[in-house]
Structure 1
Amino acid sequence: MILSFCLVSCIHIEKTKQNEVKVRSDHFPQSLNYLINGSYHAHDIQRKTFNELLFLDGRAKFKPLLAIGLPEVIELDTGYLFKFTLRDEAKWDNGAPITSQDIGFSLKAYKLPLKENVGISSYYSRIKDVICNEDNIKVFQLLTKGNKHDLLRLTGDFGILEKAKFDPEGLLDHIRLSDFDLIPEEIANDEKVISFFKTFTKDNYKHNDAFFSSSGSYKISHLEQGKSITLTKNKNWWGNSMVNVDYINANPDRITYYSIPETITAIYALKNGDIDVMDDIPSNEFIQLEKDEGFKKRYNLFSPLKYTFTYIGFNSEARYLNDKKIRHALVHLIDKTKIVESVESGYGQPTIGPINPAKKFYYNDKIVPYKYDSSKCFELLTQSGLKKVNNHWYQEGEEKPVEFTLIHKQNSVYENIAQIFVSEAQKAGIKISAISYDDRTVRKMVKDRNFDITIGAFNGSPFSYNFSGLFSTDAARSGGMNFTGFGNAKSDSLIQAINYAEDSVQRRNSLFEFQKILHDESTMVFLYFAKNKIAISKKFTNLNISSLKPGYDVTSFKLAREID
């Protein structure tokens, strides 16, 4: 008990203030900068400090936010035009109107074809041009290519950056959005472009509220590096005047995100009432909370399905793991059903790929999953040229046995998965050393390809299947999100076919083939989709629980009663 108290007290959680929501975050966001690939937690904060054209509600339905309504869609021979009109009320904090020039600038910033920006730029590749209305600064059209249903999210769900603040010198003014397809190499080597990107991705801009609190319902009011970020209601937010629109909310006066990586510490803080909201609660702890009648008098518990998949990733550029036979051998030591039962207490669904099995139309159930089979592992390792001597595997001519290092974020779920995997590998004569680090260290090691095996999770989506940022060969460059090195010309062509499919049947056929390649290459082993176990203080109501990460809408929270 004394140890737990010391651990929690070191977080410096302040006494609850009136109408403040305290949220547990399992790591401190490295950056809140839209121009740098960030974590989900960073994106969650960005959505509150910046606004998008459209709002995605808990039922995965889009509603107009900065835009007056949903866009008018005009079909062309080569794609679609999405015509938007910005609300007259939509303004920056300084009172200046948000205009089509800001839209065009934001998309140019995201699409910069630089190696440091490959994940973001590939995601927005289907937006080809922005056409501004010369007579009305609030009207513009986006020229796109692909499936119009997917394009609704792409065109409506990105943070709008203020051109006057981010590019006061007009460093990107000489480039049109259409140039990114025509002269990408020239843009990548353009001195003004490089200068712009280097300036706004420096360390001093990673958490700078002067730049990253601009049009949203909240502003960053306090930041304690590595520990907490506090958002305070934005008095100058344009949405304050939208009193008759029930989904445009900024109900809590303050929202504070406390970084508490260790599960045991976070659970103690929750039970002690130091935090109000915690999601992704490990299953064993969640079951104990369900049995705690005293806790349930103070907190509500929820477990909606989520679209996040947990995986084991192999660095296909690492020694031995560049051999598909060896990767397959290791896959045959993974019992997904056992992992779901042991780690999630059954709160999960095994999967063969990154598409949730609940999406039956797109999930390739024709693929036969690899089964746990230690004899098959032995067979494949032998076929790869390795030999087993005294319960260890050796490469011919080598004195040291084959061994791997597994890294993962400090997280009880990942720790339990690692223990199961390491134990099964040990039985098969394969040494795997599992090491946990803080989130920042793991991200850097993965980014630098300084690992053999890793465990993690990615947030998916119920309506979008754009895998370019995660699995394209472009994203496999150093620093990209494709850290396993997956991909070839065939898989790249399928990613493009998925993105640009004209109907659901075409997309389904391409997705089925893509899932087969992922399964065959096995650079990433997709373990399961889990339920999101959430606890929220009964001090709050109007929670908007949903399957979309994080599983609730904290901006909609209302006080259920007065706080003592």
Structure 2
Amino acid sequence: MRVRFSQDPESLHPLSYGNAPALQVLNLIYQSLLTIDLRDKSIQPLLAGGLPTVRRDDSLSYFTFKLRPQAKWDNGTAVTASDVAFSLKLLHSPLLDNERWRAQFNFIKDIIIQPGDSASFTLVCRGYTPEMRLMTGDFFVLPAHRFDPKGLLSNIPFHTIRQKFDSLASTSTFKTYAAFLNQPQFARDTAWVRGSGPYKLKSWRNGQTVVLDKKQGWWGDQVAKEAEILRATPGKIVFQIIPDNAAAIMALKAGQLDLLDDMPLVAFQEMKKNEKYQNKFTFSSPSSFDLVFLGMNGDKPYLQDKHTRQAISHIFNVPQIINSLQGGYATPSVGLVHPEEKQYYNKGLSPVTYDLKKASQLLGQAGWVKTSEGWHKTIANQRQKLELEVIHRAGNSDFEHLAILLKQNAQAIGVPVTIQALESSQIRERLDTKQFDLFFRTLSGNPFSYNLIPLLHTSNKVEGGSNVTGFGTPETDQLLENIASEEGTEQKAVLLKKLQQEMQEQSNWVFLYFLQNKIAVSKRIDAAVVSSLKPGYDLTKFTFKK
């Protein structure tokens, strides 16, 4: 299989990788307890022999797993509960680049290994949410014998690391271990980047290729007939690093690639219509959970009134934008829930329409008065003119076009808008410090977790918090907490639909559309699995025509 990457993986360290290509490679080398079947979005056991059993007791929940007896490391030894415990220690140890993992898996308080059974263990978790059924098994299980050959962490219990994080950071044990684990070999050396997965790293040439070979006698082949999720067909996978889209299209047309995703619109449309390429490729445009939206800083004095924000939401002609920018390959939405998630999507909510007259009326409702000089309002005893700045990531042509459309339509009702293209790090700093008016961004979601507290709860409106738009009230906070803890589908649907209604009313977020991926797959592939879930396809299930 020959697949295009638009950027170099940068690092294949399973703890501190930095981008999507790296994660895609790592998922073929290392394994977790559980995974998602990209074909039907179901949770499946991977290293685990089955889904966990769950017991709840007051403020704690207990998830009990048993590992597959066939699961082996490359040296032939079994994957054990001690490896799982070690992997959890890495997620929480001091002096390592694991801040995001400590926060994400903070709910896991302890691990109890079954006496006399090295394959059975229980994770002790704080509280309970339905998302834990996946998250308790959604981390890489790493070989302790390779990542800690001297056993420096073997005698330190996981709960001790959790409880004494700060004091342990000053000990020689953890200083020594951090120096060992931060070595470059764990990030790119073919002899060290090894896990329990079906593939091993054969070579990595910066900016050129990452090559993976299927392991001979891989343990999963023994059970793939009974556990389809473990089937891995391609004998070699070559990721070709081609940053330039035009060069990637040329490589595809020349037969140098078997798969190209996220194709430029014009090239996708032209090739799809061309009989020559119809005979060579299968073209797909599956939905994705990548949501394009405009965010507004509701904490800015001139954007605090919801009618002002609602006015801005009415200057977008979403159907026209989807047609012109995306060629129709996008799905409009009234909220954070994808319309394909029919049980949770609020289809009773009308999309915000393009209406410049309505926008002007709403500005008037917010107290703005229009003069020959623009819209003005007295705020904190000072005359304030309504003029806005929109920021977006430099080099993103879709955001550039959206910003220009925003500027043109806002100007039509007398609101001047300036556009600022920034690097990702600059945008992050502006959002963290709340030094912005408006921003365009893409939010990558999934249908498995509706714990939206980090994004929308008022407790996260602090500097550096994820709620950068200032959305929220005590009522919506309670709504978010109820959504995160609700197990019943019907009640969760009621709560999510209420949230979508509240978010449209407050308009801190203007929802534009969910993107659709544009994929071409060579017809030498007999069975290609494409999906709405990232990365958009499952290479391990691709089979070749004989």
Per the TM superposition, whether the score is higher than 0.5 is yes
TM superposition shift of 1:390? 5.0
Which amino acid in 2 is paired with 1:332? H
TM superposition shift of 1:292? 0.9
51, 64, 83: which one pairs with 1:102? 83
Which runs of structure 2 are paired with 1:467-506 in the superposition (5 Å)?
467-472=452-457, 482=467, 484=469, 486=471, 491-506=476-491
* Partners of 2:131 and 2:390 in 1: CA distance: 39
User: What SS class does the counterpart of residue 32 from structure 2 fall into?
Assistant: coil
492, 508, 527: which one pairs with 1:507? 492
Name 1:18's counterpart in structure 2: none
User: What SS class does the counterpart of residue 365 from structure 1 fall into?
Assistant: coil
Name 2:169's counterpart in structure 1: 191
TM superposition shift of 1:111? 5.5
Q: Render the CA deviation track for 1:446-505: whole Å, top value 9, x for unaligned.
A: 677676543333333233323345445676666665554555665554443323223223
TM superposition shift of 1:52? 1.3
TM superposition shift of 1:138? 1.0
Which runs of structure 2 are paired with 1:43-54 in the superposition (5 Å)?
43-54=23-34
Q: Render the CA deviation track for 1:182-218: whole Å, top value 9, x for unaligned.
A: x5xx635752599699769969589434665422222
220, 223, 248: which one pairs with 1:239? 220
* Partners of 1:257 and 1:404 in 2: CA distance: 39
152, 155, 170: which one pairs with 2:136? 155
RMSD: 4.1
Name 1:527's counterpart in structure 2: 512
Residues 25 and 371 (structure 1), Cα distance of their counterparts in 2 relative to 1, 3 Å cut? same
* Partners of 2:128 and 2:301 in 1: CA distance: 40
TM superposition shift of 1:295? 1.0
81, 95, 111: which one pairs with 1:130? 111
* Partners of 1:394 and 1:220 in 2: CA distance: 62
* Partners of 1:444 and 1:258 in 2: CA distance: 32
Name 1:208's counterpart in structure 2: 188
Task: Assess if the C-alpha contact under 8 Å between 1:465 and 1:498 holds in 2.
Answer: yes
TM superposition shift of 1:264? 3.9
* Partners of 1:142 and 1:78 in 2: CA distance: 14
Residues 173 and 455 (structure 1), Cα distance of their counterparts in 2 relative to 1, 3 Å cut? farther
User: What SS class does the counterpart of residue 247 from structure 1 fall into?
Assistant: helix
Task: Assess if the C-alpha contact under 8 Å between 1:100 and 1:138 holds in 2.
Answer: yes
Which amino acid in 2 is paired with 1:337? P
Bigger Cα Rg: 2
Name 2:413's counterpart in structure 1: 428
TM superposition shift of 1:542? 2.5
Q: Render the CA deviation track for 1:200-259: whole Å, top value 9, x for unaligned.
A: 996958943466542222233433445653333345854354453543233333323344
Residues 286 and 106 (structure 1), Cα distance of their counterparts in 2 relative to 1, 3 Å cut? same
Name 1:309's counterpart in structure 2: 291
* Partners of 1:76 and 1:296 in 2: CA distance: 58
Aligned identity (percent) is 32
Q: Render the CA deviation track for 1:501-558: whole Å, top value 9, x for unaligned.
A: 2322342343234334433443332222243321111122221233322332112223
Name 2:3's counterpart in structure 1: 23
Q: Render the CA deviation track for 1:24-59: whole Å, top value 9, x for unaligned.
A: 234444554454585443332221121011242211
User: What SS class does the counterpart of residue 156 from structure 1 fall into?
Assistant: coil
Is 1:69 aligned to residue 50 of structure 2?
yes
Which amino acid in 1 is paired with 2:140? G
Residues 238 and 523 (structure 1), Cα distance of their counterparts in 2 relative to 1, 3 Å cut? farther
Q: Render the CA deviation track for 1:391-425: whole Å, top value 9, x for unaligned.
A: 65568778998241421363444444334333323
Residues 559 and 85 (structure 1), Cα distance of their counterparts in 2 relative to 1, 3 Å cut? same
User: What SS class does the counterpart of residue 526 from structure 1 fall into?
Assistant: strand
* Partners of 1:101 and 1:438 in 2: CA distance: 42
Task: Assess if the C-alpha contact under 8 Å between 2:130 and 2:487 holds in 1.
Answer: no
Is 1:338 aligned to residue 314 of structure 2?
no
423, 427, 449: which one pairs with 1:464? 449
* Partners of 2:369 and 2:43 in 1: CA distance: 57
TM superposition shift of 1:339? 2.0
Which amino acid in 2 is paired with 1:531? Q
* Partners of 1:318 and 1:81 in 2: CA distance: 44
Name 2:250's counterpart in structure 1: 268
Which amino acid in 2 is paired with 1:364? N
* Partners of 2:218 and 2:169 in 1: CA distance: 36
Unaligned 5+ residue runs, structure 2? none
Q: Give the total of aligned pairs.
A: 537
Which runs of structure 2 are paired with 1:81-480 in the superposition (5 Å)?
81-110=62-91, 119-144=100-125, 150-166=131-147, 170=152, 174=156, 176-177=158-159, 187=165, 190-191=168-169, 204=184, 207-209=187-189, 212-225=193-206, 228-235=209-216, 237-242=218-223, 244=225, 245-315=227-297, 320=302, 324-381=306-363, 390=372, 392=374, 402-408=387-393, 410-434=395-419, 452-472=437-457
Residues 332 and 37 (structure 1), Cα distance of their counterparts in 2 relative to 1, 3 Å cut? farther
* Partners of 1:522 and 1:416 in 2: CA distance: 21
* Partners of 1:267 and 1:213 in 2: CA distance: 32
TM superposition shift of 1:262? 4.7
Q: Render the CA deviation track for 1:51-84: whole Å, top value 9, x for unaligned.
A: 0112422111233321223333445455653321
525, 532, 538: which one pairs with 2:523? 538
Task: Assess if the C-alpha contact under 8 Å between 1:232 and 1:253 holds in 2.
Answer: yes
TM superposition shift of 1:302? 1.6
Task: Assess if the C-alpha contact under 8 Å between 1:545 and 1:553 holds in 2.
Answer: yes
Once the two structures are overlaid, the 10-residue window that deviates more, 308-317 or 550-559, is 308-317
TM superposition shift of 1:351? 1.1
TM superposition shift of 1:154? 1.7
Once the two structures are overlaid, the 10-residue window that deviates more, 338-347 or 196-205, is 196-205
* Partners of 2:366 and 2:12 in 1: CA distance: 45
User: What SS class does the counterpart of residue 141 from structure 2 fall into?
Assistant: coil
Residues 146 and 289 (structure 1), Cα distance of their counterparts in 2 relative to 1, 3 Å cut? farther
